[in-house]
């Protein structure tokens, strides 16, 4: 898909990874709808896109609220004069580092993590399918995490389960390419060099820094997302990103 002139929603785009993805789509010519609960940050991202010669507009949306997502998709359609959105990046997420975690967290606490990291992406995807089909097709990219891979213990079971669910959710939707013209794919980043990661690195001892994994540049995540949006040969596929290593496209049966 050529994203030039297409309407793209990026959730959680007020800062860090979401901002990098939104900016990259803007440089590719997309009309980017910057969605986030952080209005000042979201407005700043939209302004940066416009300052770079692109088109960006902010829309406040909490992906845990169905009404917000419905309004977001409708708003994005208006930006495309009734056509679209053509691209959805389900980037909003987080909370895996915030204690308490399951089983010490209350059902409301761990449920909110599931809503933010899994249910919101599922609902947003469901809501864009018909508008994308009417627009001639589209692309959805889910942003998961390596916390959802493997069988080892993890500090936040609810976060790991949500990201694992997002990966499996993606793979099950490969058939939507033939059914509705919509391709759903997923990027699975390891530790990303966000502002929080930079602070964590700064607080480490030299020995701790040496033992820490190589953080993934924000631009690498944005590059992988745009690659999945534009590559029409991929549907229901998962790309794992680690440090400065080459992206790994998991086999369809993995």
Tell me the two tokens of residue 125: 């995807």
Buried b (16+ CB within 10 A) or exposed e, 70-96: eebbebbbebbeeebbbbbbbbbbbbb
Q: One of 58, 75, 102, 159 is an active-site residue; which one?
A: 159
Q: Edge to edge, what strands does the sheet with 238-241 contain?
A: 55-60, 31-36, 7-11, 87-90, 138-143, 182-189, 238-241, 248-249
Overall residue count recorded for the chain in this entry: 254
Look at residue 59 and give its three-state secondary structure.
Answer: strand
The residue whose two tokens read 């898909």 is 1
Omega cis (within 30) before 85: yes
159 is catalytic: yes
User: What DSSP assignment string belongs to 108-158?
Assistant: HHHHHHHIIIIIHHHHHHHHHHHHHHHTT-EEEEEE--GGGSSSS--S-HH
Place of tokens 């069988």: 151
Rounded to the nearest 5 percent, the helix, strand and coil shares of the chain are 45, 15, 35
> What is the secondary structure of 63-90 as a DSSP string?
TT-HHHHHHHHHHHHHHTTT----EEEE
Could you list the active site residues?
159
């Amino acid at each position: 898909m050529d994203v030039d002139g297409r309407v793209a929603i990026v959730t959680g785009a007020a800062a860090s990874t979401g901002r990098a993805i939104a900016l990259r789509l803007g440089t590719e010519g997309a009309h980017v709808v910057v969605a986030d609960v952080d209005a000042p940050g979201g407005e700043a991202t939209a302004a940066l896109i416009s300052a770079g010669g692109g088109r960006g507009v902010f829309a406040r949306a909490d992906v845990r609220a169905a009404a917000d997502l419905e309004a977001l998709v409708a708003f994005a359609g208006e930006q495309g004069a009734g056509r679209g959105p053509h691209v959805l990046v389900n980037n909003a997420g987080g909370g895996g580092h915030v204690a308490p975690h399951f089983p010490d967290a209350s059902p409301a606490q761990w449920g909110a993590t599931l809503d933010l990291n899994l249910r919101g992406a599922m609902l947003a995807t469901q809501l864009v399918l018909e508008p994308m089909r009417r627009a001639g097709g589209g692309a959805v990219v889910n942003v998961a995490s390596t916390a959802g891979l493997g069988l080892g213990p993890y500090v936040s079971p609810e976060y790991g389960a949500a990201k694992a669910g997002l990966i499996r959710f993606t793979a099950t939707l490969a058939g939507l390419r033939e059914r509705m013209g919509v391709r759903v794919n997923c990027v699975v980043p390891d530790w990303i060099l966000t502002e929080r990661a930079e602070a964590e690195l700064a607080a480490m001892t030299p020995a701790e820094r040496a033992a820490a994994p190589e953080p993934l540049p924000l631009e690498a995540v944005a590059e992988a997302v745009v690659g999945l949006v534009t590559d029409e040969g991929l549907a229901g596929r998962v790309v794992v990103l680690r440090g400065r290593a080459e992206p790994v496209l998991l086999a369809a049966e993995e």
